[in-house]
């Protein structure tokens, strides 16, 4: 017999469960009216003649007597109801009796006598007057529904058909779960069938015919909850396919590995959905509802990697608007939220030496586009955020992010003769270096790109082909190359130009290493082998020390291998980012389309054609506060702060809980620390308000730390604005000092924001206001389309003569750009004659220079101008010109012999 028919067979255990404890006759009940009908029978309103005419629900079930037996759904309902009737739960309909009806040749009738309820939830909603259910009513109904579901699950029963039509509501508002025809007593490991739940309330795993358990009831409860609030179904699908589209459009596409291989629907049809904000779906939420959303949303993107929690969240929509297919470009991004460079890949069949370069902000705003005529070996960014192009002809070109060519560096003739085949760019916070591999299989190293001193490293014996992969480990006093070749690892040292072969994996290791990745701080390194093994090693010592090995079960080399801080390694394959830590715990994130990972000191930024997301470790303070069911002091302080704003008297209970533990200062600092690592401004404010509230009860609380955090968060929020486009984390801001932030804003031409930050932090003028205004003036001078008169007027309006800004320095920059008239106008604003006069001489404005020197009263300046003037004039011209300046003429007479 087929498995489908087996589903309808009654087991001996089921037969025992449904055998009636009594055998009354159905004539004891009088039918009054038809209530409804189902798959196997009808439900009547009836009167119990033996119980003073009490109303009951009489469910008449027609049971076919065929060779396939009695439908198991009928027997299952009787079994479940008999099991539950002994508990007499207030939110589960009671089974009062079982009656046998008349028997026929091919079927017999069975009557289930249930307690009578006048209406179901669907009818209850229809009868509810406008504008619908009140919030208190919704909370009461959902509490009762969830109480009933919890009772079923505690007895290992899954209802599997929760919907408004199967939820009864009495006139007094009491909820009763009914219609257990699809219910099932389950074990945790037992896969259940897919033919359950009315379409609109089905969970995705049911629609995909995957194994599931009690979670499908919780999904149905959520759909009912949304329907009560929105007054319409949440997912009103017209078919299973349409239902999946509606679900994934809200919650985002599932993990590709969770998609059933044998399902008729292909994953690619649903691969590009992204999770939407619930606030956009459930609108006009009250304060309690907002809190419920916030508390659930705090942890909705959390995922455990062993005992560590990571979260993935969207930073922004990319401003390039989905027009970029990342698979067609070589990609390089500067760290600390820096710009992104894309170089168009050249297909082998296309013969062109012009390579297109585009530079975007971290948010995808196009900053510049230009072409390079030579073949590009490697692209990257320096610690100064200069774009680096290493060319095959042995030259290195440096550009700013707006495509302005800054300089060209020349490599040694030996390298230019032998040609480059590979290059890697590495950097610290204050230094950028490069490592080169030539066609002669020689490695060269330069520890400072801005002071090129190349060192040729030791030759690797017997290496006849380029290495399969290699990486750079840099320390304060030494930089090393770790090279994989012929199933061996070799370390090349730059300090003593030595080499050493190593094997941190054990004597039995005999595999090719196909990929390596070094952590941001060079303290960890990961190796990926041809058999799919991932080795994680510690580099704190002189030699890598293997900490763990994990089998990824994929022999395909990852598209990218990178580190998330130093807590986990991220492997990127098609449609998947796979995390592994040194304890062999793993975590996977689905991806949509082509993505690129950007390694940062404490996180990974993931960009694709439409969005940018961030994956990072959740700070321990945030875990303590937001973890579901947390009773930590930080969580209690947050709740106390919320209740205080609502003027709720329960706030005193939470404060007392914290003070009994003597942890008020700890709670204040926990909320403060958690606020540091939040990107969402409303969450920052929530935590800062809690911290401020807690300070009122703390005896020894450091107000300076609170003030400093508020300062840093204001700066971070300004930098993260799409108009600025620098998605820094708090840890990154602490790593690079504020002067670097000022410099980077200047390079991006965000002069006003840089000036406001400098004023906000009260930075000394030399490092703040003076530097910013000077750079702004330089930028204005470089704009050739603006008239010199207009440029001078703008500069004079913005910069006051007594501001401390050197107009002479600005004028000198104008001279460099060939704008002589502008330089003269700017020099007229310079108050210091010692800086003004030399530049006037440089411009050959001798009369202006002499006049300014005389006005200053500085005799040395006067003599300097007079002598400079004399060098370019004949004697007659010199004396005639000097007589126009009597003071200078008289001074000159005193030091020189002038004929009468």
Task: Give the tokens for residue 90.
Answer: 């207030």
What is the C-alpha separation between 443 and 461, in angstroms, rounded?
13
CB 812 within 8 A of CB 818: no
Task: Give the tokens for residue 598.
Answer: 């950007």
What is the C-alpha separation between 213 and 215, in angstroms, rounded?
6
Of residues 161, 179, 602, 743, which has the active-site annotation? 161
Q: Strands 175-177, 157-158: parallel, antiparallel or unpaired by DSSP?
A: unpaired
Backbone angles phi, psi at 143, to 5 degrees: -60, -45
CB 161 within 8 A of CB 196: yes
For residue 241, count other CB atoms closer than 10 A to its CB: 14
Task: Give the tokens for residue 478.
Answer: 């030494």
- HSE of 41 in the Cβ direction (CA atoms, 13 Å)? 23
Task: Give the tokens for residue 656.
Answer: 């007392």
Describe the strand order of the beta sheet including 545-551 as a list of residue ranges: 513-518, 524-529, 533-538, 545-551
Give me the helices (H) in 103-231, please: 121-127, 135-154, 204-207, 215-230
Tell me the sheet residues that pair with 533. 551
CB 625 within 8 A of CB 694: no
Catalytic (active site) residue 161: yes
Task: Give the tokens for residue 392.
Answer: 């095959």
Best CA proximity match to 197, nearest among 171, 218, 169? 218
What is the C-alpha separation between 144 and 121, in angstroms, rounded?
12
Tell me the sheet residues that pair with 119. 169
Task: Give the tokens for residue 358.
Answer: 């585009």
CA dist list (Å): 861 to 835, 836, 864, 875 = 10, 10, 5, 21
- Strands (DSSP E) along 552-658, which ranges? 560-564, 568-573, 576-580, 586-590, 596-599, 603-607, 611-617
DSSP 224-289: HHHHHHHSS-S---SSHHHHHHHHHHHH----GGGS-TT-SS-GGGGTT--PPPHHHHS-S--HHH
What is the C-alpha separation between 245 and 249, in angstroms, rounded?
6
| CA–centroid distance for 280 within its chain | 20
Best CA proximity match to 251, nearest among 268, 237, 234? 234
- Residue 131 preceded by cis peptide, ω within 30: yes
3-state secondary structure 655-675: HHHHHHCCCHHHHHHHHHHHH
Helix (H) or strand (E) holding 114: strand 107-115
- HSE of 767 in the Cβ direction (CA atoms, 13 Å)? 12
CB 666 within 8 A of CB 625: no
Would you please indicate which residues are annotated as catalytic (active-site) residues?
161
């Amino acid at each position: 017999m087929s498995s489908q028919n087996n589903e309808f067979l009654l087991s001996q255990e089921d037969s025992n469960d449904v055998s009636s404890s009594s055998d009354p006759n159905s004539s004891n009940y009088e039918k009054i009216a038809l209530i409804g009908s189902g798959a196997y029978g009808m439900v009547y309103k009836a009167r119990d003649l033996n119980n003073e005419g009490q109303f009951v629900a009489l469910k008449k079930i027609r049971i076919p007597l065929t060779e396939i037996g009695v439908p198991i759904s009928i027997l299952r309902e009787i079994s479940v109801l008999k099991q539950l009737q002994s508990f007499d739960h207030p939110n589960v309909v009671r089974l009062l009796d079982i009656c046998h009806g008349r028997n026929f040749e091919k079927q017999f009738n069975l009557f289930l006598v249930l307690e009578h309820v006048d209406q179901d939830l669907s009818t209850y909603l229809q009868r509810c007057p406008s504008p619908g259910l009140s919030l208190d009513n919704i909370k009461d109904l959902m509490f009762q529904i969830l109480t009933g579901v919890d009772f079923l699950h505690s007895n290992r029963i899954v209802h599997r058909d929760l919907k408004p039509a199967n939820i009864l509501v009495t006139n007094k508002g009491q909820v009763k779960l009914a219609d257990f025809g699809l219910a099932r007593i389950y074990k945790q490991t037992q896969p259940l069938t897919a033919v359950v739940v009315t379409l609109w309330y089905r969970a995705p795993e049911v629609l995909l015919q995957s194994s599931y358990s009690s979670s499908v009831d919780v999904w149905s409860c959520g759909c009912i909850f949304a329907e009560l609030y929105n007054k319409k179904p949440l997912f009103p699908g017209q078919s299973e396919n349409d239902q999946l589209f509606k679900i994934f459009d809200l919650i985002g596409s599932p993990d590709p590995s969770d998609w059933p291989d044998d399902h008729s629907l292909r994953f690619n049809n649903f691969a590009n959905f992204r999770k939407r904000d619930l606030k956009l779906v459930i609108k006009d939420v009250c304060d309690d509802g907002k809190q419920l959303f916030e508390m659930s949303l705090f942890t909705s993107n959390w995922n455990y990697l062993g005992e560590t929690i990571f979260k993935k969240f969207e930073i922004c929509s990319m401003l390039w608007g989905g027009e970029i297919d990342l698979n067609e470009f070589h990609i390089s991004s500067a760290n600390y939220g820096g710009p992104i460079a894309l170089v168009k890949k050249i297909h082998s069949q296309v013969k062109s030496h012009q390579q297109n370069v585009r530079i975007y902000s971290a948010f995808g705003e196009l900053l510049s586009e230009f072409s390079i005529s030579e073949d590009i070996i490697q692209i990257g960014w320096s610690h100064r955020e200069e774009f680096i192009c290493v060319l095959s002809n042995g030259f290195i070109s440096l550009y700013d992010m707006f495509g302005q060519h800054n300089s060209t560096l020349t490599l040694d003739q030996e390298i230019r003769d032998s040609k480059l085949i590979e290059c890697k760019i590495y950097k610290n916070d204050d230094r950028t270096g490069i490592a080169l591999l030539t066609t002669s299989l020689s490695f060269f190293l330069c520890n400072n790109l801005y002071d090129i001193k190349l060192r040729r490293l030791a030759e690797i014996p017997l290496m006849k082909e380029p290495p399969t992969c290699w990486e750079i480990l840099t320390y304060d006093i030494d930089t090393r190359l770790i090279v994989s070749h012929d199933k061996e690892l070799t370390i090349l040292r730059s300090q003593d130009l030595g080499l050493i072969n190593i094997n941190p994996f054990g004597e039995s290791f005999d595999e090719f290493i196909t990929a390596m990745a070094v952590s941001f701080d060079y303290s960890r390194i990961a190796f990926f082998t041809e058999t799919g093994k991932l080795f994680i090693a510690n580099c704190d010592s002189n030699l890598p020390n293997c900490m763990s090995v994990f089998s990824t079960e994929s022999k395909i080399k990852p598209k990218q291998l990178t580190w998330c801080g130093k807590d986990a390694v991220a492997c990127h394959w098609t449609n998947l980012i796979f995390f592994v830590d040194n304890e062999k715990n793993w975590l996977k994130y689905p991806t949509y389309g082509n993505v690129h990972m950007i390694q940062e000191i404490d996180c990974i930024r993931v960009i694709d054609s439409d969005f940018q997301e961030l994956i990072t470790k959740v700070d321990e303070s945030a875990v303590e506060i937001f973890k579901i069911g947390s009773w930590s002091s930080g969580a209690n302080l947050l709740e106390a702060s919320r209740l205080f704003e609502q003027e709720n008297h329960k706030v005193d209970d939470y404060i007392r809980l914290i003070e009994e533990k003597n942890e008020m200062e700890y709670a204040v600092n926990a909320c403060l620390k958690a606020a540091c690592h939040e990107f969402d401004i409303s969450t920052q404010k929530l935590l800062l308000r809690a911290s401020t509230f807690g300070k009122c009860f703390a005896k020894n609380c450091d107000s300076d730390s609170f003030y400093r955090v508020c300062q840093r968060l204001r700066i971070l929020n300004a930098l993260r604005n799409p108009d600025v486009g620098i998605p820094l984390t708090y840890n990154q801001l602490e790593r690079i000092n504020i002067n670097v932030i000022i410099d980077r804003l200047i390079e991006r031409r965000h002069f006003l924001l840089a000036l406001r930050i400098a004023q906000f932090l009260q930075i000394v003028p030399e490092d703040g206001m003076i530097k910013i205004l000077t750079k702004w003036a330089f930028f204005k001078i470089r704009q050739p389309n603006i008239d010199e008169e207009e440029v001078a007027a703008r500069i004079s309006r913005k910069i006051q003569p007594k501001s401390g800004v050197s107009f002479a320095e600005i004028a000198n920059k104008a001279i460099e750009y060939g704008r002589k008239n502008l330089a003269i106008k700017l020099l007229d604003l310079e108050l210091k004659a010692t800086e003004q006069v030399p530049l006037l001489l440089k411009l050959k404005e001798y009369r202006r220079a002499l006049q300014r020197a005389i006005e200053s009263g500085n005799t040395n300046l006067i003599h300097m101008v007079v002598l400079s003037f004399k060098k370019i004039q004949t004697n007659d011209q010199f004396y005639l010109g000097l007589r126009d300046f009597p003071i200078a003429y008289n001074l000159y007479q005193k030091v020189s012999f002038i004929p009468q």
